[in-house]
Amino acid sequence: MDSEMRKIIDGKSIAAQIVSETAKEIEVFSKGSRVPHLAVIISGDDSASRIYVRNKIKTAEKCGIKSELITLPDDIKEIELFRRLNKLNNDINIDGILVQLPLPSHIDPKKAINQISPYKDVDGFHPYNLGRILEGDPLFVPCTPLGIIELIKRYDVDTTGKNVVIIGRSIIVGKPIAMLLADKSENGNATVTICHSKTRDIKKILETADIIVCAVGKAEMLTGDMVKPGVVVIDVGINRVKDVTKKKGYRLVGDVDFESVSKKASLITPVPGGVGPMTVAMLMRNTLKAARLKCKK
């Protein structure tokens, strides 16, 4: 392995490892109980969402998780979606419920997520689960932050006392990963700064960063001149940029300009093949956790 290769965090192979570990655990679990069961709701025809959902279902199958895809029409009434969610909450055969976002614009995603039982909330988006992260006693952690922590763990990145700069303050990634990394825990104990669109002089803040998590959804916004040598860079972005040389007419890039940042980073996640596959792998873990939780109740 040359030094250039060592610097790239291989999320794809770590995710495959986690999927295979989870499959083994599920095999054991299923003998004493039954196969974990995940319900996935998708509404609307966002093409990226469809790809993500297909991927989640396919991976569930690989793990021995039974899954059910519920496709709802674009114009579904909020009340009807809530009725469906309640039915899944009360269904003892369902362990995990996931509502793929974005929902059609007439439905408030916060209200929809509030309808999911926190004990079946395998996405970890329910306020109860986000509150448990704040408490320092997480139950279900959103899959992307959970995947980032797992990558950091498996690549032996020491976070204690380190300066972490998070770019992006979303409820799905920025805020939970900030809390987890600041937490008094094995993969926490970092000094965390959250930057966002109103941050002044981001370059000055980034000069202090030992670890950067970039989760803003802006193609290649972090460039090599903004980071210090030896930095660890986690790129959460998945952006489509026009590329006429590709069959699909676009290519995927992250929020990080890989070309320039990778020259200075000691470790960096690529896009695709970095954080993305980890998100799906952690969903499998969360689904097994939900099934185990139900057995205890």
Distance in Å, CB of 57 to ligand GUN, minimum: 13
Overall residue count recorded for the chain in this entry: 297
Give the residue with the Cβ less far from ligand GUN, 226 or 271: 271
Sequence-distant (6+) residues with CB within 8 A of 59 are 19, 280, 281, 283, 284
Distance in Å, CB of 275 to ligand GUN, minimum: 11
Catalytic position from the list 10, 56, 210, 235: 56
Distance in Å, CB of 279 to ligand GUN, minimum: 6
Catalytic position from the list 123, 183, 210, 235: 123
Give the residue with the Cβ less far from ligand GUN, 100 or 115: 100
Distance in Å, CB of 114 to ligand GUN, minimum: 14
The residue number with the shortest CB distance to ligand GUN is 101
Concerning whether 115 is annotated as a catalytic residue, the answer is no
Q: Pairing relation of β-strands 267-268 and 232-235?
A: parallel
Among candidate residues 207, 173, 204, 210, the one with its CA nearest the CA of residue 192:
210
Concerning whether 56 is annotated as a catalytic residue, the answer is yes
Give the residue with the Cβ less far from ligand GUN, 115 or 144: 144
DSSP-based three-state secondary structure for 210: coil
Concerning whether 183 is annotated as a catalytic residue, the answer is no
Chain residues that interact with ligand GUN, rule: CB under 6 A = 98-101, 123, 143-144, 279
Catalytic position from the list 10, 95, 100, 183: 100
Structural tokens at position 54: 């297909």
For residue 267, list its beta bridge partners: 232
For 185-196, give one letter per residue: b (16+ CB within 10 A) or e: eebbebebbbbe
Hey, which residues are catalytic here? Answer: 56, 100, 123
